[in-house]
Amino acid sequence: MNEVTTKKPAVSEKGGKLQQQRVRAMSPFDEMDRLFEDFFPRGWMQPLRHEWPAWAEVAAPFAGRSPKVDVVERDDSVVVRAELPGVNKDDMDISLTEDSVTINATTRQESEKEEGDYHRREISQGSFSRTVALPATVQSEEAKASFKDGVLELTLPKAAPAKRHTIKVE
């Protein structure tokens, strides 16, 4: 059940204190059920009723398609850490510009089980890409990468700041 607080919450006074009331956000399925219940008040459709999935459950299979990334700016470098569980280092492609990093990776898993007449084989694969803007200009040719226990760590040295020059007008 989703509950949200409206921008102008309904308030009631109970025992001298103001209390904020919660308003329930309805999914389209809940709203349709409410309309049928209003139209057929005796509940003659109740034996046919079943619960519809919540929107959060429907969206769950599509969540988590990009890796979680931390970007830490230090005095002389920028460190980028990305969680890449289930990815082999050979299945990664990292591209770097002076102001962004792009991580592309693919995963593939196979499992097979045989017991008597029962044979099950599952294959899952996926790919993701994530581009992260860097907080400072970096020297892309000096970058270093390490990968251990599903965590990619990039150490990117900062580029020297541009020196200010003055020009005399003749």
| Domain-wise residue ranges, the chain | 16-60, 66-157
Binning pLDDT at 50, 70 and 90, where does residue 102 land? very high
Per-residue pLDDT averaged across 152-162, rounded? 90
Nearby residues of 152 by Cβ (< 8 Å), 6 or more positions away: 80, 81, 82, 84, 92, 94, 103, 145, 146
Class of domain 66-157: mainly beta
pLDDT of residue 34: 76
Tell me the C-alpha distance between 25 and 55, whole Å: 11
Question: In the structure encoding, which two tokens stand for residue 68, read together?
Answer: 């979680």
Least confident of 151-155, 161-165, 166-170: 161-165
Residue in 93, 87, 88 with CA at minimum distance from that of residue 65: 87
Q: What is the dihedral of CA 40, 44, 50, 53, to 10 degrees?
A: 0
What does the pLDDT average to over 99-108? 89
The pTM of the full predicted model, rounded to 2 decimals, is: 0.55
Which of residues 43 and 103 earns the better pLDDT score?
103
Catalogue the E-assigned strands of the chain.
Answer: 3-4, 11-14, 17-20, 23-24, 69-73, 77-83, 92-96, 100-115, 118-133, 144-148, 151-157
Residue 72: pLDDT above 90? Answer: yes
